[in-house]
């Protein structure tokens, strides 16, 4: 299909921030029916581009074009909620015809789970985001600009939003860190990187490999010209490439842990467990035995949060917790960590359990202190991390900061950089149980990958509340679903495994039609043989050797191409090596995907027996 004619555009756009150009010479277009995502590091200027497209700020250079007669709906990251009045009044103010759209206002508020009669001033930060989203959707615009639309939404609401956006006839340009959301909705991608804009057809799918290839090409160009990489390329050279080489080993460990968890769940069922003293001495983190919790309601009934739930969480387990907002996820965490007592049943904590928390409110910083002072408030140049001293600057580098930023005040950091500093401070605290409540909100993709790296290497136990489906799939060993009315169930694996197993288990209540389709789809797609064949097992066994060989060949080729004199000595040989490297990387990617497909099938069939 030919590209849509631009209805909204920035041409040769430039904006200066803090005396330095944020970006220059940027072109952005949006046409009817297009689904475009804009990705990039926090602080790179993505939100600024959306503001310029919405007409909220003026360009320092270039022009903004909007086709006459069209309307633009804009969801900012931080909406102005100082208007006063009720939530319904605030949302209805976005409608073109308040009387005619009365029912639509009520319908949207119901889906974002907000009471229209509440005072706007009483909303929390997350509730305010949902109110702003409702106001944007009610306006029925021709074009939509959405800045992190899934932040603070639970999974049912995210799925509803996906349906709404999929059926929207106009153009959509969105910023989001939710990979599953982007893969499902987008057909064109814009990548803002180091003040430059890269464009790719095909949406978010394949972004990581595509961006890594661009990074590798640029790194090779730098080496060829014998130029040092700038500080801004630190993450590009170290983080992305290193992460790619680690992912294979991580996948293997994660699937092994999931298999152990599946075996454990199948063996124990829901029976009370007898623990050996050695388990209590360090292997066990948390055991819950037939716990129950409910709260009395004004009408005299009881709201059941948990009713007869049992689990055994060992040291090193990474547990994802999901469910609709208000279902009781936070209450479940408080029960499991001993913060509140159950009405019935028993919770036992392992000896020496020391928990550290990150809740949705995050930490507040002294904005005038430097990053160095924030991590080492008592002075000195070192901090203790995992029992070992680390230099402050070296530790900050692990969280994508450069040396110059160590002595700058926190107030100069972007929102995403503050989130990274918060993570650095959190993981410097002593503890063997980390509780994270929606840690992915407001993080960019690089910081999400960083968080996954840190948590994958963490030797303690993790309790993770998240609605980020891709993040759960990449990280957790099992998923606890808080499904309402006291129904709490643990499933081995991540979000995708939960969807399949929940469909096999059967729903307590009939889902909406759209939800039913989603539940059934994985089962239809998984119409695999009822056994894992010997041929498939041989193929899986041989893949370890094949993957090791490919990694070695790629490493050898990368080392050869890193020699800047190779191009001067033999340009033809250098070109051949570069082409071979590209083929080997493609082969590695295909092999990893096949390994993952086979391992998922083997694990699923083993757990089903």
DSSP 8-state symbol, 313: E
Q: For residue 215, what pLDDT is reported?
A: 81
- Collapse the DSSP code of 195 into the 3-class scheme (helix H, G, I; strand E, B; otherwise coil) and give the result: coil
Task: Report yes or no: 193 and 200 within 8 Å, Cβ to Cβ.
Answer: no
Nearest 5°: the CA angle 35, 40, 46 is: 70
Tokens found for residue 367: 């904005």
Q: Is 153 a residue whose pLDDT tops 70?
A: yes
Q: Is 565 a residue whose pLDDT tops 80?
A: no
Distance CA 509, CA 519 (A): 13
Report the pLDDT averaged over residues 187-215. 88
| Least confident segment among 154-158, 437-441, 502-506, 518-522 | 518-522
Task: Report yes or no: 556 and 566 within 8 Å, Cβ to Cβ.
Answer: no
| Least confident segment among 225-229, 543-547, 583-587 | 225-229
Q: For the sheet with 171-175, list strands across it.
A: 72-75, 143-147, 171-175, 35-40, 188-193, 196-201
R_g over Cα of the chain: 26
Q: For residue 566, what pLDDT is reported?
A: 66
Distance CA 250, CA 457 (A): 9
Q: Which residues have C-beta within 8 Å of that of residue 311, sequence separation ≥ 6?
A: 286, 287, 288, 336, 480, 490
Tokens found for residue 6: 């631009």
Question: Which of the following CATH numbers is that of domain 6-212: 3.40.710.10, 1.10.10.60, 3.40.50.300, 3.40.50.1370?
Answer: 3.40.50.300
Q: Which residues have C-beta within 8 Å of that of residue 519, sequence separation ≥ 6?
A: 499, 502, 503, 507, 511
Report the pLDDT averaged over residues 143-169. 90
DSSP 8-state symbol, 233: G
Distance CA 436, CA 57 (A): 36
Q: For residue 161, what pLDDT is reported?
A: 92
Report the pLDDT averaged over residues 398-415. 85
Of these ranges, 21-30, 536-545, 546-555, 598-607, the one predicted with the greatest mean pLDDT is: 21-30
Task: Report yes or no: 508 and 518 within 8 Å, Cβ to Cβ.
Answer: no
DSSP 8-state symbol, 38: E
Q: For residue 511, what pLDDT is reported?
A: 35
Digit-coded pLDDT (tens) for 228-277: 444 444 434 444 444 545 565 666 677 777 777 777 666 554 333 333 33
Q: For residue 223, what pLDDT is reported?
A: 65
Report the pLDDT averaged over residues 525-532. 49
Q: For residue 567, what pLDDT is reported?
A: 59
Report the pLDDT averaged over residues 175-180. 91
For residue 518, name the pLDDT band (cuts at 50, 70, 90): very low
Give the residue ranges of DSSP H helices in 168-203. Answer: 179-185
Digit-coded pLDDT (tens) for 478-491: 999 998 889 999 99
556 vs 56, residue with greater confidence: 56
Distance CA 45, CA 48 (A): 5
CA-to-CA dists, residue 291 to 145, 311, 344, 477, 564, angstroms: 45, 9, 5, 22, 64
Q: Is 224 a residue whose pLDDT tops 80?
A: no
Distance CA 394, CA 607 (A): 43
Q: For residue 219, what pLDDT is reported?
A: 72
Digit-coded pLDDT (tens) for 267-308: 554 333 333 333 334 688 999 999 999 988 888 888 899 999
Report the pLDDT averaged over residues 575-582. 75
Nearest 5°: the CA angle 31, 103, 158 is: 55
Distance CA 288, CA 346 (A): 6
Q: For residue 453, what pLDDT is reported?
A: 83
Task: Report yes or no: 432 and 404 within 8 Å, Cβ to Cβ.
Answer: no
Q: Is 208 a residue whose pLDDT tops 90?
A: no
Q: Is 171 a residue whose pLDDT tops 90?
A: yes
DSSP 8-state symbol, 276: P
DSSP 8-state symbol, 248: H
For residue 500, name the pLDDT band (cuts at 50, 70, 90): confident
Q: Decide if 6-212 and 276-506 have a common fold.
A: yes
Location of structure tokens 């070296």: 394
Task: Report yes or no: 510 and 279 within 8 Å, Cβ to Cβ.
Answer: no
Q: Which residues have C-beta within 8 Å of that of residue 136, sequence separation ≥ 6?
A: 73, 74, 75, 94, 144, 146
Tokens found for residue 141: 């615009």
Task: Report yes or no: 286 and 350 within 8 Å, Cβ to Cβ.
Answer: yes
DSSP 8-state symbol, 542: H
Report the pLDDT averaged over residues 322-348. 91
Report the pLDDT averaged over residues 590-594. 75
CA-to-CA dists, residue 13 to 22, 200, 265, angstroms: 10, 19, 56
Task: Report yes or no: 120 and 85 within 8 Å, Cβ to Cβ.
Answer: yes
Q: Is 126 a residue whose pLDDT tops 70?
A: yes
Number of residues assigned to the chain: 609
Location of structure tokens 């010479």: 25
Tokens found for residue 482: 């808080």
Digit-coded pLDDT (tens) for 40-86: 887 788 999 999 999 999 999 999 999 999 999 999 988 888 878 89
Task: Report yes or no: 528 and 500 within 8 Å, Cβ to Cβ.
Answer: no
Report the pLDDT averaged over residues 523-547. 66
Distance CA 189, CA 205 (A): 9
DSSP 8-state symbol, 354: -
Task: Report yes or no: 367 and 409 within 8 Å, Cβ to Cβ.
Answer: yes
Q: Which residues of 400-428 are buried (b: 16+ CB within 10 A; e: fewer)?
A: bbeeebbeeebeebeebbbbbbbbbbbbb
What is the assigned CATH class of domain 276-506? Answer: alpha beta
Q: For residue 510, what pLDDT is reported?
A: 36
Tokens found for residue 2: 């030919």
**Domain range summary for the chain, segments of one domain joined by +:** 6-212, 213-251+531-608, 276-506
256 vs 32, residue with greater confidence: 32
How many helical (H) and strand (E) elements, i.e. helices and strands, does the chain have?
Answer: 21, 20
Q: For residue 534, what pLDDT is reported?
A: 74
Q: For residue 190, what pLDDT is reported?
A: 94
Q: What are phi and psi of 607, to 5 degrees?
A: -70, -25
- Collapse the DSSP code of 370 into the 3-class scheme (helix H, G, I; strand E, B; otherwise coil) and give the result: strand
Q: For residue 198, what pLDDT is reported?
A: 92
Distance CA 473, CA 497 (A): 8
């Amino acid at each position: 299909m030919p590209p849509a004619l631009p209805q909204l555009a920035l041409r040769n756009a430039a904006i200066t921030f803090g005396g330095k150009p944020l970006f220059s010479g940027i072109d952005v277009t949006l046409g009817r029916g297009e689904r475009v995502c804009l990705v990039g590091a926090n602080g790179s200027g993505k939100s600024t581009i959306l503001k310029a497209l919405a007409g909220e700020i003026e360009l320092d250079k270039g022009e903004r074009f909007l086709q006459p007669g069209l309307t633009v709906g804009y969801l900012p990251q931080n909406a102005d909620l100082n208007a006063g009045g009720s939530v319904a009044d605030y949302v209805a103010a976005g409608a073109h015809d308040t009387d005619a759209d009365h029912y639509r206002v009520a319908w949207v508020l119901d889906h974002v789970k907000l009471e229209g009669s509440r005072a706007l001033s009483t909303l929390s930060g997350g509730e305010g985001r949902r109110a702003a989203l409702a106001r944007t959707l009610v306006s029925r615009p021709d074009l939509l600009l959405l800045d992190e639309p899934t932040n603070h939404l639970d999974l049912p609401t995210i799925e509803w939003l996906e349906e709404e956006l999929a059926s929207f006839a106009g153009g959509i340009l969105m910023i989001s860190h939710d990979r599953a959301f982007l893969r499902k909705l987008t057909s064109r991608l814009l990548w803002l990187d180091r003040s430059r804009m890269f464009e790719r057809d095909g949406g978010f799918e394949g972004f990581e490999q595509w961006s890594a290839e661009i990074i590798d090409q640029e790194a090779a160009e730098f080496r060829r010209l014998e130029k040092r990489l700038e500080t801004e390329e630190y993450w590009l050279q170290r983080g992305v490439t290193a992460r790619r080489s680690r992912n294979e080993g991580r996948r293997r460990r994660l699937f092994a842990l999931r298999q152990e968890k599946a075996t454990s769940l199948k063996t124990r069922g829901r029976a009370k467990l007898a623990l050996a003293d050695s388990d209590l001495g360090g292997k066990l983190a948390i055991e819950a035995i037939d716990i129950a919790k409910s709260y009395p309601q004004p009408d005299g009934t009881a709201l059941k949060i948990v009713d007869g739930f049992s689990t055994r969480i060992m040291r090193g387990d990474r547990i994802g917790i999901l469910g609709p907002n208000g279902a009781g996820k936070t209450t479940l965490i408080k029960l499991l960590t001993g913060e509140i007592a159950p009405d019935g049943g028993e919770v036992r904590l392992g000896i020496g359990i020391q928990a550290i928390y990150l809740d949705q409110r995050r930490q507040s910083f002294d904005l005038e202190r430097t990053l160095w002072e924030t991590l080492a408030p008592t002075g000195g140049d070192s901090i203790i991390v995992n029992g070992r001293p680390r230099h402050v600057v070296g530790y900050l580098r692990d969280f994508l900061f450069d040396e110059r930023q160590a002595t700058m005040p926190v107030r100069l950091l972007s929102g995403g950089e503050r989130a990274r500093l918060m993570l650095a401070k959190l993981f410097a605290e002593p503890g063997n149980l980390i509780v994270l409540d929606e840690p992915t909100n407001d993080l960019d993709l690089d910081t999400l990958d960083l968080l996954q790296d840190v948590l994958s290497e963490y030797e303690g136990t993790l309790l993770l509340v998240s609605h980020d489906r891709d993040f759960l799939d990449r990280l957790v060993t099992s998923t606890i679903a808080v499904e309402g009315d006291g129904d709490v169930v643990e499933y081995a694996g991540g979000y995708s495994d939960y969807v399949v197993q929940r469909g096999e288990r059967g729903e307590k209540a009939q889902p909406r039609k759209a939800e039913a389709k989603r539940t059934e789809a994985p089962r239809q797609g998984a119409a695999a043989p009822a056994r894992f064949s010997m041929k498939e097992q041989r193929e899986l066994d041989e893949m370890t050797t094949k993957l090791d060989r490919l990694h070695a060949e790629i490493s050898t080729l990368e080392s050869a191409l890193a020699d800047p004199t190779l191009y001067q000595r033999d340009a033809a040989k250098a070109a051949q090596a570069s082409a071979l490297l590209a083929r080997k990387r493609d082969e590695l990617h295909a092999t990893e995907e096949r390994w993952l497909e086979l391992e998922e099938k083997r694990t699923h069939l083993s757990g089903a027996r």
